[in-house]
Structure formats: structure tokens, C-alpha cells
Amino acid sequence: MSRAQSRAGSTAPFANVPVYVVALLLTVIVLVPIGFVVLGGFRTTGQIAADPVGLPDPWVRHNYVSVLTSSAFWRQLGNSMIVAAIATGLVVSVSAMAAYPLSRMQFRGREALFVFFTFGLLFPVAVAALPLYLLLRQLGLLESLLGVALPEAAFAIPITIIILRPFMRAIPAELEDAAAMDGCGRFGFFLLVLVPLSQPALVTVTILSVITSWNNFILPLLVLTDPSKWTLPLGVAQYSSEHSADTAAILAFTTLSMVPALLFFLAAQRRIVGGLSGAVKG
Amino acid sequence: MFLAPAVALYVIFLIVPVVQAVRYSTYDWNGLGALSDFVGLDNYREAFGDPAFRQAMEHNGILVALSLVFQLPLALGVALLLNRRMRGRGLLRVVFFAPYVLSEAITAVIFLQLLQPDGLVDEILRGMGLGALVQLWLADLGLVFYTLFVVITWKYIGFAIILFLAGLQGVPDELHEAAAMDGASSWQSLRLVTLPLLGPTIRIWAFLTIIGSIQLFDIVWIMTLGGPAGASSTMATYMVDQGVNSYRIGYATSVAVILFAVCFVFSILYQVFVLRRDVRGGTTRMAG
Amino acid sequence: MTIWKLLGLAALITAAATALLTTTTASAGGKEQSQTLVWWHNVTQGPGVKLYKDIAAEFQKQHPGITIKAVPLQNEQFKTKIPIALQSDSPPDVFQSWGGGGLVDQQKAGKVADLTKYVKPWIKSIGGTAAGWQVNGKQYAVPYSVGVVGFWYNKQLFKQAGIASAPKTWPQFLAAVAKLKQAGITPIAIGSKDEWPDAFYWDYLATKLCSKPVMQSSAVTYNFGNPCWTRAGEYVQRLLDAGPFQNGFLATPAQQGASSSAGLVANGKAAMELQGHWNPGVMQALTPENKVPSFLGWFPFPNVPGSKAIPGSLLGGGDGYACSWKAPQPACAQFLAYIDSPSVQRRVGSTGFGLPVRRGTENSVKDPNLRTVLKFRSTSPFIQLYLDQAYSAEIGQALNGAIAKQFAGKATPAQVVAEIQSAAKRK
């Protein structure tokens, strides 16, 4: 850290104007591609082919309308939500329980167990695809949303535990002592103290898990053949092959399939912002 | 007791299939017949002897380096920016995280449109009088991998920003106030207070990013299929190419195991040399 | 508190879902009792969708007691899932087969049923096309639509460049490319991102340079020692050196979107494309008016004068169906027979879904270009199956990859042959 001092003081504090300029520039870089998709859905494929850059002229609604009035879209949306809810509920509850002893209890092999869990990070689902398929078939879980959600949860355990562990460890030991004095058992401490105080971290892992599940492609692809069970990413792939020529229709479907995830994030992100202060300063 | 459910789920749906995969990797198997043609380590020998695979490994290495060198300062800068009290801060957080929420497939579809010859990117460059910079973004063998890196950065930088923001929440304002009272500039405050306290978060981010870079697949596969002529291949695209397109399941799983081994060795080293510090850091941090 | 609620809710949902899903899977388990044919096909769009629904309904009416359960899969998904499904103990009964080396692999693994005795009464009526779906003289699958690869071209742009008639020989072809270039027209569109369109050129030049026995034995012996294979690469190189392709062709997909190679030709931005018989359907979908462009014409791949190949030899392939080893017989074979019956075959042609294989149904094809394709297919002395399909998947994929490297300027003709040979040696 001592090296830092030699450079100290050479830079003036940020003035707000440059900050806004940078923020604006980054916003443009982030939003232009997304805007291109959203606006593209309001154009016709002919318009897009004639001028890839232009704005809708005239605006057409029918790409969006035809997606929104198709039952397939809503069914896929529902399936995606079910899978995301099961996978996330499972992984967050199970990982929170596991992160507690891994962060706060002393026992032999704790670090080894933690390392064992982090192994999971090292495998992309594709590695285990074939054996996983055969396993799910044995368990009778093919063609079922649970067959997608369970492996999704399993593959999300490592990252969830890795994120939760430092947060739980950061909660002061005095609280645990106090809880013990109040007659709280370990489970009581976990439910009444640890979980509420880890809320920002839990929200973070919940968001990550929902998004990962929402975007997962390979697992539903393997497990679900019946179109009535499909999730949205499969729907997007199917839609873009069915309408491979109709760029505008694909853009509309793409836009609508990303809306739920964005809305979810919009709703949840305040909780992260809301604050860790309780856990850290307490 | 607390661990049982997680261990059960994890072992059944992750460890068991993965161990099976390791077994397949010692056979010459096209996924159809019986698992009978045991070849020992031949698949591994072949992989390391294949220039296409070595090229793919090299790409993963470059990607790791590029990610650490470019994404870390960028994400850190944006996170610090967003951590300040300013108008529209909440909105900016949402904006920067939006790409992370999009699926890989959607991201790839978007950028395929933008980057095609005479597409939006080319038109914008021309519009700014920079027409000379227009390139064959995805068809130029020397450029395509860097183009993909930009797309990957666009997609994943939001995750880094959110992680860093969460980390910054853990830096008590009092420390900054104290530093300011001692006459420290914002820069000093950043170097001496914020960054050290952000250390654990940065180290976890780096870990995840390196693993992610080694495993990178979806975006590359959809945008370029690892081409042209392997110019944008990664170990994972090589693996899928061998497994799905050539039906060499045994060989492909051996590539997967190599992929795992690389991640494994790296993560052990990282645990030992980098993350270990956080065990101590975690307690001292609370004292502050 | 919210997290508790969330966790509680999650637990509740999980429990409910588990109960729900286990009951549904239990009820789906008992599908073996009645005769059901599970039919995996890759028709998810176009005229085939309705045709397939009709076929299934008609067949069920004619054969009470047999139920057809059709499962449409997007082509790429199909290719990913089929080996895994065949590995399991309840594979689909009827599934898409492209013949060639893929079928040989499935046959070797015992995954496909021998249909020889069932199809004997009628197989002659589909003529020589049946051969591509045989292994060691036995019929393991049956084609229902077979086409050939050729140049789909823009007659107006050819006229504009001063090309009077479609080129018949390789030198004439190179001259036409030069003329188009001079006129400021992109001569050829190609979807090199997908690699297989590159291989069409190499495959075709090999078919036009090597003798028929050399081509045929290559899929059995995998010996590429004959100098004609290297010569094929040298001819490809001469074409590449002429720079006939669109800007950035290495990243262009073959079929997706208006900027794909098919889209470029369909929208008048390139003069021709070497593609299969499916191309009008692809192009139609890529035009703003959703019509096959009126300027579209077709000519077969030009012959190479003085070579050992029989002039008029063509490269092609098609679609067929196989029965898995578990499929109920003769129900499955009966279903395949129905797909190749004159009534269905005529509709395959009249709807523009494919090029029928049954003799006497050729007239059902209405599109003038497809009629030309069919005429050349029917009179061709020798049709070579696409090499990536004719060879075992592993070697076919190595072949496509090696040729793609040459297109990217990363391999010489000799290196291409060496790479294919070394992939074959592993076998």
C-alpha cells in the first residue's frame, strides 16, 4: 500500500460534469444494441433489409402483437417461470444452509468440503450432458420441468455458496454469542439472525440464479422435447429458425423474451442497493 | 445436517454425471454402440497433439489476460462512479446491468446484426467520419477474436459492476469521512481505504472471470462457431464441435476433462495463493 | 422477513411441483401397450408442416390401432438429440435419416432396424435413390426426397454482365465469374460460416475430376491417395484466387437472414450460389415479398473437360426415414411405405416440399427450376452423396473443417487431403 502514497494527490477529485459525460457515453454503448432490437421489432423486415440503421418508418405493431397473441409465447413464459422458481428456491435455501457451517462452524474437513463445492464451478453443463441425460431418464424426470430445475440448482450451488460464505463470515461473532445467550439453538440463529442479516447477499444470489436459469439453453434442450414444456430460450431458438427470414419478427420475440428478466431485475435491484449496512456495521 | 441437502443435490446431479464423463473419456466411443473400445489415455494424447486444440487453449489464455487487464479497471471505475451520490444513479445501475440479464443467445443475435458488413457499427463509424476504421469484424482472421472479446465485455461487465457495488457497500462511509478529515484526497481515499477493503470482492470476481473465460462457449458458438478456420475457437467450442458434429463423444469428454483439469489446477493455485488471504481478511475487516 | 417468505414459498412450490410432476411422468410412462409410432422429424416450417399432419392422420385412419405421435424438432436440435435418444432404451420409432456414413454408424451400433424384407415389394419403384440408404446391400432406411446441388443464379445479372448462356464447362464458368466481376457484380455468394457450403465446391470438383470407382470406394476404404483429390483442391484454389465471393464471406451464414448467402442472391446482391434443391424455399422466406424471385434460374455444376469423371455426374443427397431397433414392425415399415406411396409422393412434389423419389410422380413438381433439377437428377449417370454425409461423421466433419481452412487461406490443397487422410486413419 505504501506505493500508493507516491501517486497520491496528483489527481483532482472528480467533478460532476465529466462523471455525467462518462456515464452518458457508457449508457449509449449499453443501450444502442438493446434499442436496436426493441426498435427493430417495430419495423418490417423489408425496412431492416433496406436500411439496417434507420428508425421505424412507419411504425408497425404487428410483430409484437402476433407474438403477444400466440399461446406458445405465454406457455413458454410460464414454463420458464416455474423452472426458475423451483431452481432458485432450491439452490438458495440449500446453499444458505450449507454456507452457514462452511463459514461459521469449526469442523474437520471444512475447507476440503468448501473446495469440493467449488469444483462444480469448473464444469460447464455440456461436459456432463450425456450422463446427465441418462440419469434423468432413470429417474423418470425427462420431459418434466423438474428435470430441468434440479440439475440447474445443482450446477448453481458452487457460485451461490462462494458468494454467501464471505457475507456470512462477516457477521460479527458477538451476535452469535448473544443469540446463544438468548437460548437460540444453531437453527434458531440461522433462521433468526443469519438469514435476515445476509439478506443483501441472498438477494444477489437469488437474482443471479433466476437469471442463469432464465437464460439456460442446453439443459432444457436435452430434457424437454415436447413443445408444450419448452422454456423461452428454446422458444427463441425455434422461433428464429421458423422465421429465419423475418428479422423483425425475431427481434420482436427476442425483445419480449428479455422483458421479464429485465423487469425482475428492476424490481429486485433496489434490495441490493438497500444495503449491506446492517450486516457490516452492526 | 445443514450440509446434507446441498451435498445430496450436488452429488447426484453434478458429481455423478461428471465422474461418468471421465469414464467415457477413456473410450473411443461415438455415443451409439456399447462402451467397449477402451483406449486409455489415447484421447488425451490426441488432444494435446492437435494444433487446433492447442490454438483453442491459446485463445482461452488470451481471453483470461484481456479480461483481467481491461474489464477490471473498467468495472471498478463504473462501480465507483455509481457508488457516488448523484442524480439518476439507480437508473444507471439498472442500465449497466441490463446486458448481463440478457441471455447469451440474445446477445449473440443482437451483435450478429450490428456487426454484419454495412451494419449499424459500420454505419456509425462512417457517420462519424471514421469510415477508414470499418473492418470485417467477424470475417477477419486476425480480428474476430478481439471483436468477440468486446461483445463478451459488453455482456459480462454488469456482473462485475454489481459485485463491486455490493463490495463497496461494505466500506463504511465513516472511513472516508475520517480519511477526508485527515486531509486525504479522493484519490488517496480510494487507494488507501476503498481498494484494500474491496480486495476480497475483486479476488472473487477475478476467480469467476478466469473460470468463465476458460469455459466460454455460447456467445462464440452462436456468433462464429469458433471460425473462420478456428480463428475464434475456445476449448469448449472445440469440444462441442468434436462431440456434437463429429459424434466423437469419448474424445469430446476427454477434452472436457482437460478443460476441467485446467480450471482445477488454476483454482487450487488461486485458493492457495490468493483467496487464502481472505480468511484472515474477513476477520480483520470486521475490526475496522 | 421477505427472504423467509421467499424461501417458504420456494419450498412450497418445490413440494407441489414434485408431486405434480411425478404424477404426470408416471402417467406418461405407460405408452407401450397400444401400437404407437413416435415419429421424430425436422419439419418445423414451410409446406411440409401441413403435409405431415395429413400423412399422420391418413395413416392412422387406414391402420386402426396404430397411433402416430409426431415430434417436430428444429434441425440442429434434432442432430444433437438423436444420438442420445438412440442410446436410451426408448428411442423414437421413426426418425429422419440422411443415409451415408451416419446410417452406417447407427447400423454398426445396432440402433436401426433392417427393413429389407418389408420394403422388397415396392423398393424398386424408387429406383437408384434407395442405394444411399443401404448398408452392405441391406435397406436400413428409405428416402422420400432426393435432390442435387447446383448453381442458383440471377438471370438478369448474368444478362447485365453479358453472359449469354449458363456455363457448361469449368473454363466457361471461370470466364463468367470474371465477366460478372468486371460488371461490378458480386459473382458468387457463399455461407462460409457454416463450413459445409465451402465443402460443396471441393466435393463437386472431386466428383468432376475423380473417376466413379475412386469416389465410391473412398467411403469404404477412406484412401485419398489418388492425385485427383489434390487436384480438386487446386481447382478450388484457382477459384478462390479469382476473388469471386462477397465481402466478408468467411463470417456469412448460409441461410439465416437477408444478409446470408441465400439472402444476398434472393435480393439481387450477388449473382449466384452453389446450393441444394432446398434453396428456393430458403430464398423465398428471405425476400420482403415472401416470393421466389422471378429472376432465379438453375444450372448444374460445370463439367471439367478431360477428366476421368463421367460428364454429368452430380453431387446430391436427400431425406429419408429409418426405424429404430425397438420400433413395432411391420407397423413402422408400413408407415415408411405410405410416405413413399404415389399419393404422398405426388404431394411432396406439388407442395414444393421436396423432390419425390417415386417413379411416375415427377410431374407433380410445379416450380420450373425444381423441374430442371429433377430432370438432371433423373438422367444423371452418377450421383455422389455429399461427402460429409457419405463418410462417417468424424471424417466428414474433418473434411468440412479442412476445406474451410483452405477457404480462409490457412491450408493448401495438399494439406486438405492430408488432414482428411489423418482423420480417416484414426478410424
pLDDT of residue A15: 53
Sign, CA dihedral C324-C327-C329-C334, equals negative
Total length of chain C:
427
Which pLDDT value is given to residue B173?
72
Which one-letter DSSP state was computed for residue A42? Answer: T
- Amino acid in position C40: W
pLDDT of residue A272: 57
How would residue B279 be classed by pLDDT, with cut points 50, 70 and 90?
Answer: low
Q: Is A226 an interface residue toward C (CB < 8 Å)?
A: yes
What confidence tens digit (pLDDT) does each residue in A9-41 have? Answer: 333 444 567 778 888 888 899 999 999 889 989
Which of B121, B246, B254 has the most C C-beta neighbours within 10 Å, making it the best mutation to test the interface with C? B246
Chain length of chain A: 282
Q: Could you tell me if A167 and A76 lie in one domain? A: yes
Number of domains forming the structure of chain A: 2
Instruction: Give yes or no for B123 touching A (CB within 8 A).
Output: yes
**Whether pLDDT at A228 is above 90:** no
Residue in A236, A270, A276 nearest the CB of B169: A276
Q: Are B197 and B212 in contact (CB under 8 A)?
A: no
Question: Among residues B123, C19, C74, which one has the least CA distance to residue A240?
Answer: C74
CA-to-CA dists, residue A70 to A64, A161, A234, angstroms: 10, 39, 15
Q: Is residue A215 part of a domain?
A: yes
**How close B33 gets to chain C, by Cα (Å)?**
4
Pair (A148, A31) in one structural domain? no
Is there a single domain that holds both residue A97 and residue A187? Answer: yes
In the stretch 158-197 of chain A, residues with CB closer than 8 A to chain C read 191, 195-196
pLDDT of residue C427: 66
CA distance C185 to chain B (A): 17
- A19 in any annotated domain: yes
Residue recorded with cell 476441467: B260
| A135/C87 Cα distance (integer angstroms) | 12
- Residues of the domain holding A271: 71-231+258-281
Report in angstroms the alpha-carbon separations of A250 from A43, A240, B53, C54.
Answer: 11, 6, 34, 29
Q: Label residue B7 exposed, middle or buried (CB < 10 Å: 0-12, 13-18, 19+).
A: middle
Residues 6+ apart with CB under 8 A from B183: none
* Contacts with C280 from chain A: Cβ below 8 Å: none
Shared-domain flag, residues A36 and A120: no
A43 class by beta-carbon count within 10 Å (0-12 exposed, 13-18 middle, 19+ buried): buried
* Nearest Cβ partner for A242 among C7, C45, C290: C45
Examine the domain organization and report whether A76 and A29 are in the same domain.
no
Distance CA C293, CA C290 (A): 9
My answer on whether A156 and A27 are in the same domain is no
The torsion of the CA quartet B196, B200, B206, B211, rounded to 10 degrees, works out to 170
Same domain membership, residue A84 and residue A35: no
Q: Do residues B69 and B76 lie in contact, with contact meaning Cβ atoms separated by under 8 Å?
A: no
pLDDT tens sequence for chain C (427 residues): 233 333 333 333 333 333 333 333 333 333 344 789 999 998 877 788 899 999 999 999 999 999 999 988 877 778 878 887 887 778 999 999 999 988 998 998 899 999 999 999 999 998 888 888 999 889 999 999 999 999 999 999 999 999 999 999 999 999 999 999 999 999 999 999 999 999 999 999 999 999 999 998 998 899 999 999 999 999 999 999 999 999 999 999 998 877 889 999 998 999 999 999 989 888 887 887 778 899 999 999 999 999 999 999 999 999 999 999 999 999 999 999 999 999 999 999 998 888 999 998 989 998 899 999 999 998 898 999 999 999 988 899 999 999 999 999 999 999 999 999 999 987 6
Helix or strand or coil: residue C352? coil
pLDDT of residue A4: 39
Predicted confidence at residue C48, as pLDDT, reads: 86
Using one digit for the tens of pLDDT, what is the confidence trace for A152-171?
999 999 989 988 888 888 88
Of B6, B97, B119, the CB nearest to A97: B6
Contacting B with CB below 8 Å, chain C residues are 79-80, 83-84, 86-87, 105-106, 108-111, 192-195, 247-252, 257, 259, 393-394, 396-398, 401, 404-405, 407-411, 426
Residue A268: inside a domain: yes
Please give the pLDDT value at position A7.
Answer: 37
pLDDT at res. C5: 35
Q: What is the pLDDT of residue A26?
A: 87
Q: Is A129 in the same domain as A16? A: no
Q: Are residues A97 and A146 in the same domain?
A: yes
| pLDDT band at residue B278 under the 50/70/90 scheme | low
Cell of C135: 448398408
Please tell me which of the candidates C108, C192, C397 has its beta carbon nearest to residue B228.
C192
CB C424 within 8 Å of CB C224: yes
H or E element that contains C146: strand C141-148
- pLDDT bracket for residue B133 (50, 70, 90): confident
Tens-digit pLDDT profile for residues C189-240: 999 999 999 999 999 999 999 999 999 899 889 999 999 999 999 999 999 9
Which of the listed ranges A127-136, B96-105, C9-18 does the model predict with the highest average pLDDT? B96-105
Would you place residue A200 in the very low, low, confident or very high pLDDT band (cuts 50, 70, 90)? confident
Q: State whether A83 and A143 are in the same domain.
A: yes
Residue A245 domain flag: no
The span from the CA of A43 to the CA of C213, in Å, is: 54
For an interface test with B, the pick among A17, A127, A221 (most B C-beta atoms closer than 10 Å) comes out as A127
Residues of chain A in contact with residue C255, where contact means CB-CB under 8 angstroms, are 244
- Report strand pairing: C35-41 vs C66-72: parallel
Rounded Cα gap, residues A55 and A51, in angstroms = 9
Question: For residue C132, what is the DSSP state?
Answer: G
Distance of CA C240 to the CA centre of its chain: 25
> Does residue A93 form part of some domain?
yes
* Contact predicate C346/C356, CB 8 Å: yes
Identify all chain B residues contacting C193, using CB atoms and an 8 Å cutoff.
224-225, 227-228
Ramachandran quadrant class, C352 (left: phi over 0; alpha: psi -120 to 50; beta: rest): left
Q: Identify the residue among A91, A114, A123, A250 best suited for mutation to test binding to B, counting B beta carbons within 10 A and taking the highest.
A: A123
Q: What proportion of chain A, given as a percentage, has pLDDT over 90?
A: 20
Hey, are the CB atoms on B114 and A33 less than 8 Å from each other?
A: yes
| Residue B116 confidence (pLDDT) above 90 | no
The verdict on residue A62 lying in a domain is no
- The answer on A33 and A90 residing in a single domain is no
User: What CATH number is associated with residue A143?
Assistant: 1.10.3720.10
Q: CA–CA separation, C417 vs C404, rounded Å?
A: 13
**Distance, CA of B256 to CA of B21 (rounded, Å):** 8
What's the average model confidence in pLDDT over A126-150?
84
Between CA C345 and CA C362 the distance in angstroms is: 9
| DSSP SS3 for C138 | strand
Instruction: Provide the chain B residues 7-66 that lie in CB contact (below 8 A) with chain A.
Output: 7, 9-10, 12-14, 16-18, 20-21, 24, 31
Give the minimum alpha-carbon distance from A222 to chain C in angstroms, rounded to a whole number: 7
Dihedral angle sign, alpha carbons of residues C57, C62, C63, C65:
positive
* A75 and A34 assigned to the same domain: no
Per the domain annotation, does A55 fall within a domain?
no
Pick B27 or B31 by higher pLDDT: B27
Residue A273 forms part of a structural domain: yes
- Reply yes or no: is the peptide bond before residue C368 cis, omega within 30 of 0: no
**Which subunits have 3 or more CB–CB pairs within 8 Å of chain A?**
B, C
Rg (CA), chain C: 24
